[in-house]
Amino acid sequence: MSFSWMAWTTPTALFFCAIAALILMMCVWEYFSPGGNPRAGILGITTTRGDRLFISLLGSAFISLAWLGLAEAALWWSLLVCMIYSVLVFRFC
Amino acid sequence: MKNWNNKAWLLVLPMLALVAFSAVIPLMTVVNYSVQDSFGNNEFFWVGTEWFEEVLHSERFYNALLRNLLFSSIVLAIEIPLGVAIALCMPRRGVAVSVCLVLMALPLLIPWNVVGTIWQIFGRVDIGLLGHGLTSLGLDYNYTQDPLDAWITVILMDIWHWTSLVVLLCYSGLVAIPEAYYQAAHIDGASRWAVFRNIQLPRMKRVLLIAILLRFMDSFMIYTEPFVLTGGGPGNSTTFLSIDLVQMAVGQFDLGPAAAMSLVYFLIILLLSWVFYTVMTKSDADAAPGLGERS
């Protein structure tokens, strides 16, 4: 079975591996600490750690797009911003 | 203390496999295409984020996005109040209920391309009832040449097609209100407006949110009806994001830019869906404190 039609590249494969690893880590976390640790953060809504991961990933996607559209600096810097943003989301949301 | 049984997650596996084949694999392919260029023959060349930059600096993309947002705002502003008003006017008991429900459900049963064709003929100046009627009245109407006429026709078509969904959802919320509420309001001498404001509207809140979510997402992803009716014209006046995307991917065979654009489009839809979902679940939690919390 050939997957050449999917036009895989190493960077995109690594990207999806990272997403899969994050989901796997969340599963392991949930196994050892069930319940999702729901709490109401600064957004004023109750979020579980799965919600916080989703908010982190979605927000990171928009940060990267905004970086591409507005900033001149290399995209690697947006990765740093995304990581800081994700830490803040997991800490305060 | 609750005992958690994570083995239940195994029951999700069949659905996960289905979603993987129907959504995740195609999405992965789109991501792969978005960072490459292709000249056909299944040959691809790495271009990095070039297509994303092109899309994000493209006036064409922002114009289509603005058209989409404007269209969704207009149809929501009309369909939601109109749907609520019709639902309030519908009978609650008797044979008329079935008749009204069937009549309301009819537009929803018509395939989208057929709706486009119906309105294409309906709006024609030479043979269409609407077009011919308006021109006979002396109005300068031609949806194939005038952008404003095209917009009005597309909006009217959407209202005709989808207001029924809002009506049916609101009606289901209305009939679920116990009679005792109305009796209490009657004893208190509440006006018709007070009954609507304090009883009917709060009890319809959940179905209304679902209606708003469904209508917003549908209108934001609209493709078939305007494509059949106007083909995106005159000019680009009714070229919404989905039409633009298909023109780019299928018409011009620009797979890379189309993939990048579809991912940006997808992210916008994902964000808006999440916002709506959050508002809905928050309103549920507010309505029933403790519902959204797990002990």
Q: Residues B107-148: pLDDT tens digits?
A: 999 999 999 999 999 999 999 999 999 999 999 999 999 999
The residue to which tokens 């690594």 are assigned: A14
Beta-carbon contacts of B79 under 8 Å, excluding residues fewer than 6 positions away, are B158, B159, B162, B163, B166, B215
B31: nearest CB among A5, A12, A30? A12
B282 min Cα distance to partner chain A (Å):
7
Quote the Cα angle for A42-A67-B68, to 5°: 80
Contact A6 B4 (CB under 8 A): no
Lowest-pLDDT range of A50-54, A64-68, B2-6, B63-67: B2-6
Q: What is the pLDDT of residue B293?
A: 44
- Level-2 CATH architecture, domain B60-287: Orthogonal Bundle (1.10)
* pLDDT, mean of residues B35-46: 87
Beta-carbon contacts of B30 under 8 Å, excluding residues fewer than 6 positions away, are B259, B262, B263
Give dist(CA A53, CA A89) in Å, integer.
Answer: 8
Per-residue pLDDT for B295 more than 50? no
Contacts of A58 in chain B (CB under 8 A): 267, 270-271, 274
Per-residue pLDDT for B286 more than 70? no
A51 min Cα distance to partner chain B (Å):
10
Q: What is the 3-state secondary structure (H, E, C) of B55-69?
A: HHCCHHHHHHHHHHH
pTM, full prediction = 0.84
Q: Two tokens at B193?
A: 């407006």
Nearest CA in chain A to B274: A55
Contacts of B291 in chain A (CB under 8 A): none
Count how many pairs of residues, chain A against chain B, have C-beta atoms within 8 Å. 65
Q: Residues B264-281: pLDDT tens digits?
A: 999 998 998 888 878 877
Q: Two tokens at B227?
A: 């494509």
Q: Residues B164-174: pLDDT tens digits?
A: 999 999 999 99
B32: nearest CB among A9, A58, A68? A9
Question: What are the residue ranges spanned by the domains of chain A?
Answer: 4-92
Lowest-pLDDT range of B102-116, B199-213, B275-289: B275-289
Split at pLDDT 50, 70, 90, the class of B292 is: very low
Residue B248 carries which DSSP code?
A: I
Contacts of A34 in chain B (CB under 8 A): 4, 6
Q: What is the pLDDT of residue B1?
A: 55
Per DSSP (E only), the strands in chain B are 36-38, 44-46
Give dist(CA A11, CA B60) in Å, integer.
Answer: 29
Contacts of B278 in chain A (CB under 8 A): 45
Q: What is the pLDDT of residue B2?
A: 60
